[in-house]
Amino acid sequence: MKTVGVFDSGVGGLSVLRALLAELPGVRFVYVADSAYAPYGERTVSEIADRSERITAWLRNTHHIDALVVACNTATALAIDSLRATHPDLPIVGVEPALKPAAATSHTRHIGVLATRGTLNSERFARLRTQLENTASSPVHFICQPCDGLADAIERDDLPAQQTLCERYVAALREHAPGDMDTVVLGCTHYPFAADALAQLLGPDVALVDTGEAVARRTRDVLNMSDPKGTNATPPVLLSTGDPAALSLAAQRWLDLPTRAAKLMV
């Protein structure tokens, strides 16, 4: 049985784990929520790189993982290159705001992006955005909105704060977006868990796009599992550097996983 490590700044990466469980039955997953240091989007590049390296090394040494999924947009943007340089023998899959899928499906070519400030300010995001705006078959325009505090509100399961922040950021996005914006990218793995509120605010004419399924397919490819067999007989290992009870509740609420999370000191 292959083992895949998955980590995020907190519970948001459970949206990616959900897709991985569906795409790769029979694979053992070890999920680390670095909740003691969340949210990553408001930390420095050096802090994020250090946390990413510590968690990756621990997963390799303790669980001997066959691949790693960096289920955090900010960590992907700011730390995945250094991780790949330090661990060249380990397949590492990152998550990026789904700009490519959005550009492929948008009819109006006006696409909103909701993400953390760390992701939007990263060189990696800038390269992807510029590449698509300059090379798409028809012009595409991305309207980017940083969402300070939203990942943290989702992390804490603070529904009133989530609603207030969603209203604030959707209003700000619409203020700068053309009226025919038809697609919005959820550029943080936490945000799919606020998708209902965002969809209601944006209306039925705006499609929401996230990266979970694409990441799961890419992970299957790097594991060379073209036709994975089996069932999820082995529940994922859930670990948190913060409050494990919060991770347990989130996994039960969003993934219907009865697995009890454990505390991790790393």
Catalytic site residue from 144, 147, 166, 188: 188
Alpha-carbon span 225 to 229, nearest angstrom: 9
User: Among 65, 158, 90, 77, which residue's Cα sits nearest to residue 118?
Assistant: 77
Catalytic site residue from 72, 144, 147, 166: 72
Boundary residue ending a domain (187, 210, 233): 210
Are 177 and 138 part of one and the same domain?
Answer: yes
Are 123 and 197 part of one and the same domain?
Answer: yes
Boundary residue ending a domain (188, 210, 232): 210
From the centroid of its chain, how far is CA 237?
18
User: Among 32, 36, 15, which residue's Cα sits nearest to residue 243?
Assistant: 36
Are 221 and 90 part of one and the same domain?
Answer: yes
Q: In this structure, what CATH number is given to the domain that contains residue 80?
A: 3.40.50.1860
- Model confidence over 216-232: pLDDT tens digits? 999 999 998 866 655 65
What pLDDT is attached to residue 233? 60
Are 124 and 74 part of one and the same domain?
Answer: no
Q: What's the number of domains the chain is made of? A: 2
Active site annotation includes 144? no
Alpha-carbon span 187 to 263, nearest angstrom: 28
What pLDDT is attached to residue 3? 97
Tracing tokens 């997963």 back to the chain, one arrives at: 59
Alpha-carbon span 130 to 62, nearest angstrom: 40
Are 21 and 91 part of one and the same domain?
Answer: yes
Contact criterion met (CB below 8 Å) for 22 and 31: no
Query: 231: how many CB neighbours lie within 10 A of its CB?
Result: 7
Alpha-carbon span 248 to 185, nearest angstrom: 27
Two tokens at 238? 């859930």
Going residue by residue through the chain (266 aa), what tens digit of pLDDT does each one get? 899 999 999 999 999 999 999 999 989 999 999 999 988 877 899 999 999 999 999 999 999 999 999 999 889 988 999 999 999 999 999 998 889 889 989 999 999 999 988 889 888 899 889 988 877 567 789 999 999 999 889 988 899 999 999 999 999 999 999 889 999 999 988 899 999 999 999 999 999 998 888 899 999 999 988 666 556 568 899 999 999 999 999 999 999 988 899 999 99
Are 85 and 103 part of one and the same domain?
Answer: no
What pLDDT is attached to residue 265? 95
Are 200 and 154 part of one and the same domain?
Answer: yes
- Amino acid letter, 44: T
Two tokens at 43? 């930390």
Asked if the bond preceding 146 is cis, omega within 30° of 0, the reply is: no
Boundary residue ending a domain (175, 194, 210): 210
Query: 200: how many CB neighbours lie within 10 A of its CB?
Result: 12
> Which domain covers residue 107, as residue numbers?
99-210
3-state helix, strand, coil in the chain (%, to 5): 50, 15, 35
Are 154 and 80 part of one and the same domain?
Answer: no
Report the run of H or E that residue 74 belongs to, with start and end: helix 73-86
Are 106 and 197 part of one and the same domain?
Answer: yes
What pLDDT is attached to residue 126? 92
Contact criterion met (CB below 8 Å) for 63 and 5: yes
What pLDDT is attached to residue 259? 84
Are 195 and 243 part of one and the same domain?
Answer: no
Are 90 and 218 part of one and the same domain?
Answer: yes
User: Among 218, 220, 160, 224, which residue's Cα sits nearest to residue 194?
Assistant: 160
Are 37 and 65 part of one and the same domain?
Answer: yes
